[in-house]
Structure 1
Amino acid sequence: MDMDDLAWQASNFRGLSPRRVRLLLERGHRDLVAQVAVERGEWFCAEGAVEELCQVGDFGRALSVMEPFVETGWRAASYAKSEILIRAGHRTDEALDLLRPEEAGRASTTECRDFAEVLGRAGRIDEAIELLVPHLDKSWLLSTLVDITDGQGRDERVLELIAPRADHVRQARGEGRWDYAHSNAQELQARVLERAGRADEAIRILGQDIAERRFLAQNTLVAYAELLARHGRLDELRELGDGQDARTVLNIYAGALRDDGRVKEAEGVVRDAIAADDWVGYRAWLSAMLLAEGRPDDAIAVAEPGFGWYDCSNLLTPLISPLLDRPEELLYLVEHPRVVPHHGHEEFQHWWRAWALAGLGRVDEAISVAGLDRPWTDPRIVKADLLRRAGLLDAAADELRALGTIKAREELCEVLVLQGRAEEAIAVHPTVAEQRAAEPKPEPAPLSESGYSLDPPF
């Protein structure tokens, strides 16, 4: 293994993917996953095995799994090893030395963030805070500061550091400027005040910012609404939902009513909003709520106007997604007379119906309606997936084994694990080298006389 292969795996979810590693671990194959990690240089196997080993206190073996990855010089592996050492409880200095910047003044913000997180886990909170202080002009490091100090008794110090940045946002907006450098400072200030037991103060300060429109990001508005909901301030939340920010916060108000047992009231609030402003977001929230409550016909009636819209606002997919593992209900939905094809992707409806039929054991019907002529997928892999969904694992394995492509072997691995043949599954799964070799190589772009590409991006 080398850093390039490891980075490629991590960024592309290749090698044995996190999903396949979870499947193996769920079926008790921890030792096999650990072995594969080391023998084949599989990063997600290493992560999964290390977590399982740490959970049972086998830190020595966890370190032995991670060590070959650390030896490549890949920083993510060093970070993982430092976590093992911290969890082991007696090798703190060694953990810190792994990530300690050689020259603190010249360390990158990412290096400082990583080291501060390790310092925090080692209980050296004050050092972590002071390491971050010079870098708090980066809003994402302000979030790191808040995260690593949670429950550490340093809320007053954190508030001192956040306050001038939150005030900077207020001043900028008061002057009509859009300076996003600290756009999350106000919500983080409220979060720290809340966890310090000063929720009323957090609500007062952030509420004034919202009322005076002295905030930069929609996330700040959402954070305020969620703060009100957590503390039962439903009257204030209702007023917020009735104003100009209704599209952002009305679902939070309705959700708070529902959590309070006022389900009919929550439904009424959103239906009134639809009557006044037929916005797709209101329909999406209400239809999902109705479906969760076992009212599919009502959910369909609410979502129906959006069934034929484009991808970004089509309301069929949000209803389909919760039902993918509930074939009877899925089939009811896709065969409902009010359901129309997905705009520009009519084949989705065929696939969904096929999955439902396969889940019900009606595999021949599933194959006949699956739309196996799609150019971007191999029809035999689609067929194998339907056979698998129908519980016909032997037939699915035969189909994939006969195909023999990289993709087919990846899918076959899962089927074999489900059959209890984990070692065979590992043997059939392509190696990282095979996966990389099978990646399509981009065609070189034609160049103009000036040497610039003739095709976008120019």
Structure 2
Amino acid sequence: MNIDDLSWQARHHGGIYPRLARTLVDLGETELLIGAAQERGDWTGTQAAARALCAAGDTDRAAALVAPFREIGWREADWATAEIMIVRGEGEEALATVRPDAAALGDGHACARYAELAATAGRADEAIDVLAPHLGESWLRSRLVQATEGQGRDDRVLHLLTREAERMEHKDSEGCGRCGQACRASRTDRWDVLLLISQVLERAGRAQEAVEVMRTETASGRRHPLNFPEHHAQLLARQGLIEELRALAEAEHRAAFAVYAKALEDTGRAPEAEALLREAIEAHDAPNDRAALMRLLVRQARIDEAVEAGRPTYDYYDCWNLLHWALELLVGDGRPGRALELLDGLTGAWAEGHPDQVLDLRLWLLGEAGRCEQAIAQATALNEKEPGEWDLRLARLLERDGRLEEALALLRTSTQRSALYDLVDMLLEHGRPAEALASVPTIAETRAAHEQREREAAARRPQDDPCAVPDGYASQPPF
């Protein structure tokens, strides 16, 4: 255990990665995680285990688990200890150990973290105080709203946000200091603040005021980002203002249309919602309307109609191609053969431009259809042409065919960077958590392998190549 390795782990998720730690806790394997984390000196595992112990009321053991990291000066351990102390009811003492000094008050990340702890300890005003100077940053405005929820400080939060919106309005009206035009960044920030004001008003029980904020801004005639009319529509739907929602959707606010259709469905007017979506598709053929129609049909268990509704998108080369969803719908409906027919019938731009994805989907569907032997033979042949490239799909096919040990052996020796994740997942799925954890390299091992790959990549790059990527710039996570 040393600071250098721990810092590397924080950047790269080496060792026990966060998803594995959470999964082990969810599976009730906290003791296994504790043992591995202590043996390896692994912070990610230790932090997850300590939080699980706190949730179970064992704060003394959680503190003891974190203590060695604190002793070597790992700052994250101070924050974790403060969390444990707050659970114990020692809020004031906990905050004293991590309270930002004058220099740290300029660090938004430190202030956000402290504010979260302060709010948890029941010190909402202190949380507001450390965040108030940072309201020019959108993510910290959101943290302010999150940290104060249910803390009885909505009036103070609204005062700060309203003052910030007014400042941005003034800045926008003055224009950019360089070109004299309205600053696009300040307009976007102002819209973000208005959304937060509406959110706080609604949670404070002042829904009509929240609606009025959105209504006034929409009526201003300004252009807005898509999320603004969408949030406006969702607010109207939550408040049952269906007619006003209809008017918003009809005023060329396409982002509000799907919200309106869902609101109609939720109020028992599903046929009307379906008709409106089909009319919109006929008029505009917007893929988000097709997606909304598919969701409506799926909720009514009309799977074939949902698949047909998405069909025109299956040739889209990239965005809004709904093919994968359609195949999953058919498989979930117990008809992988029908999904295969759909896939095999594709001849458009997407199928032609993504041959490997088509092959991978076909192998998956063959397995789902119980044709594992055929799929395994095809995947094996593909691997012979491109060694290792089809390991992950082949392993899952072997598993489905009842050949679990062969699948695990393949993943253990695979050169694919993500094979370790698949190996761990497969072991967990088959009730073998100790093996799953043992298969994960330590932080030091993972770091050494990563740095070796970096050196090899640097050696392969021409030294005089002006377009060469600097070492470490485009490096991938260790797995």
Quick check: TM above 0.5?
yes
Aligned pair count reads: 452
In the other structure, the counterpart of 1:226 is 234
In the other structure, the counterpart of 1:358 is 367
Is the Cα contact below 8 Å between 1:406 and 1:435 reproduced in 2?
Answer: no
- When normalised by structure 1's length, the TM-score is 0.87
Deviation at 1:390, TM superposition (A): 4.3
In the other structure, the counterpart of 1:432 is 443
In the other structure, the counterpart of 2:94 is 95
- Compare relative contact order (CA 8 Å, sep 6+) and give the higher one, 1 or 2: 2
Residues 220-299 of structure 1 aligned to structure 2 (within 5 Å): 220-246=228-254, 248-299=255-306
Unaligned runs of 5+ in 2: 175-181, 474-479
Secondary structure of 1:150 counterpart: coil
Give distance in 2, aligned partners of 1:331 and 1:37: 45
Structure 1 stretch displaced more, 101-110 or 53-62: 101-110
Per-residue displacement from partner, 1:63-108 (whole Å, max 9, x unpaired)?
22333344454444433332222123x2223321332112267541
In the other structure, the counterpart of 2:64 is 64
Give distance in 2, aligned partners of 1:61 and 1:215: 55
Is the Cα contact below 8 Å between 1:234 and 1:256 reproduced in 2?
Answer: yes
Unaligned runs of 5+ in 1: none
Secondary structure of 2:32 counterpart: helix
Q: 1:286 to 1:5 in 2, by over 3 A?
A: farther
In the other structure, the counterpart of 1:42 is 42
In the other structure, the counterpart of 1:212 is 220
Give distance in 2, aligned partners of 1:72 and 1:17: 22
Is the Cα contact below 8 Å between 1:393 and 1:419 reproduced in 2?
Answer: no
Give distance in 1, aligned partners of 2:50 and 2:104: 33
- When normalised by structure 2's length, the TM-score is 0.83
Is the Cα contact below 8 Å between 2:337 and 2:369 reproduced in 1?
Answer: no
Is the Cα contact below 8 Å between 1:53 and 1:62 reproduced in 2?
Answer: yes
- Establish whether residue 443 from structure 1 lines up as the match of residue 450 from structure 2: no
Residues 378-397 of structure 1 aligned to structure 2 (within 5 Å): 378-397=389-408
Deviation at 1:331, TM superposition (A): 4.4
Deviation at 1:165, TM superposition (A): 1.9
Identity %: 37
Give distance in 2, aligned partners of 1:44 and 1:64: 16
Give distance in 1, aligned partners of 2:76 and 2:325: 35
Deviation at 1:11, TM superposition (A): 4.1
Secondary structure of 2:109 counterpart: helix
In the other structure, the counterpart of 2:135 is 136
Deviation at 1:340, TM superposition (A): 4.8
Is the Cα contact below 8 Å between 1:173 and 1:215 reproduced in 2?
Answer: no
Q: 1:410 to 1:455 in 2, by over 3 A?
A: closer
Q: Which amino acid aligns with 2:234?
A: E
Deviation at 1:306, TM superposition (A): 1.4
In the other structure, the counterpart of 1:335 is 341
In the other structure, the counterpart of 1:149 is 148
Is the Cα contact below 8 Å between 2:388 and 2:414 reproduced in 1?
Answer: no
Deviation at 1:231, TM superposition (A): 0.6
Per-residue displacement from partner, 1:367-397 (whole Å, max 9, x unpaired)?
2344734859543443222222445423323
In the other structure, the counterpart of 2:201 is 193
Is the Cα contact below 8 Å between 2:340 and 2:366 reproduced in 1?
Answer: no
- The equivalent position to 1:421 in structure 2, one of 417, 432, 444, is 432
Q: CA RMSD in A?
A: 3.1
Q: Which amino acid aligns with 2:273?
A: A
Structure 1 stretch displaced more, 285-294 or 130-139: 285-294
Give distance in 1, aligned partners of 2:438 and 2:334: 36
Q: 1:314 to 1:144 in 2, by over 3 A?
A: same
Is the Cα contact below 8 Å between 2:21 and 2:44 reproduced in 1?
Answer: yes
Give distance in 2, aligned partners of 1:174 and 1:215: 15
